[in-house]
Amino acid sequence: MHISEHRKAIDKLDARIVRLLNERTRHVLAIGGIKLKAGEEIYAPHRERAVFERICRLNAGPITSGQLRAIYREIMSSALALEKNMTIAYLGSEATPAHQAAIRRFGASLRYAPQKTIADVFTEVSKGRADYGVVPLENSTDGVVTHTLDIFVDSELKIISQIILPQTRFLVLGRQCSPPTGDDRTSLLVGMADKAGALNHVIAAFRRCQINMTKIEPRPGKRKARKYFFFIDCDGHVQDRKVSKVVALLERGGNRVKVLGSYPNTE
């Protein structure tokens, strides 16, 4: 084929792609209308993951799976923007790591609201001025961002997703967790009873339920001396039998257990 013939073929394909993208978007908008009427959240991390996995299975190249995911990220971002005038709050200013992480998760079509502090991000989402928030949890230089953990003690927001950049892990704040996907992570905040062997009881509960604890981080309580909270990440979803059992065991041991969120265990 000559260049002119290739270009004519591209023009025809572009016409089909535009038509199909609009057809896809109409279905997304219909689903969004049903969700809004039912009081459900528009953004669904579990569905997003399923879409990415499906398109990558369908992909035969030459486009790489990473490139295909980037294309679909923007397709889904534009649909989200049409479904609702959505705002994402994040820590810092434009082009900072948190801003980059937010765009990586939600795409370029949404409105982004920079915030001066982590507490401001929580407040914007809690007050409904932002639909979701992006805050740092840990980075390779300074370790855990303790201020994020401390705010979770009193906040009713949930962790609905995570974003991993080369040196930093971010959390996406929202109001409703996704259903199980089969490969999930759950974050817990455990206020330990002030008694000997309390930490051992917590660790033993995870071992008894055969749950992999991937992270445990202590934080001192602010209201009571010698009171400690532990931020714990583990494999599984809170609706899974094993995870719900470990929560029950911890509570029976006199600990205060707060489920911070269950979300897909992927980037």
- What is the domain-level CATH number for residue 143? 3.40.190.10
Centre a 10 Å sphere on the Cβ of residue 167 and count the other Cβ atoms it contains. Answer: 10
Q: Does any domain span residue 66? A: yes
**Domain, as residue range, for 21:** 3-83
Statement to judge: residues 79 and 92 lie in one domain: no
Statement to judge: residues 17 and 62 lie in one domain: yes
Q: Does any domain span residue 179? A: no
Q: DSSP letters of the chain? A: --HHHHHHHHHHHHHHHHHHHHHHHHHHHHHHHHHHHTT--S--HHHHHHHHHHHHHH--SSS-HHHHHHHHHHHHHHHHHHHS--EEEEESSTTSHHHHHHHHHH-SSSEEEEESSHHHHHHHHHTTSSSEEEEEEEETTTEE-HHHHHHHTT---EEEEEEEETTEEEEEEESSPPPP-SSEEEEEEEE--SSTTHHHHHHHHHHHTT--EEEEEEEE-SSSTT-EEEEEEEES-TTSHHHHHHHHHHHHTT-EEEEEEEEES--
Q: Does any domain span residue 76? A: yes
Statement to judge: residues 19 and 74 lie in one domain: yes
Burial-class residue 104 by CB neighbours within 10 Å (0-12, 13-18, 19+).
middle
Q: Does any domain span residue 11? A: yes
Statement to judge: residues 206 and 148 lie in one domain: no
Q: Does any domain span residue 220? A: yes
Statement to judge: residues 165 and 200 lie in one domain: no
Q: Does any domain span residue 229? A: yes
Statement to judge: residues 64 and 138 lie in one domain: no
Centre a 10 Å sphere on the Cβ of residue 12 and count the other Cβ atoms it contains. Answer: 10
- Where among 49, 83, 117 does a domain terminate? 83
Statement to judge: residues 92 and 168 lie in one domain: yes
- Where among 133, 149, 174 does a domain terminate? 174
Query: In total, how many domains does the chain have?
Result: 3
- What is the domain-level CATH number for residue 241? 3.30.70.260
Q: Does any domain span residue 91? A: yes
Statement to judge: residues 141 and 193 lie in one domain: no
pLDDT in tens, the chain (267 residues): 899 999 999 999 999 999 999 999 999 999 999 988 988 888 999 999 999 999 999 999 899 999 999 999 999 999 999 998 899 999 999 999 999 999 999 999 999 999 999 999 999 999 999 999 999 998 877 778 888 999 998 999 999 999 999 889 999 999 998 899 999 999 999 987 667 777 888 899 999 999 999 999 888 776 655 577 899 999 999 999 999 999 999 888 777 899 999 999 876
Cβ 211 vs Cβ 262: under 8 Å: no
- What is the domain-level CATH number for residue 44? 1.20.59.10
Q: Does any domain span residue 242? A: yes
- Where among 63, 83, 103 does a domain terminate? 83
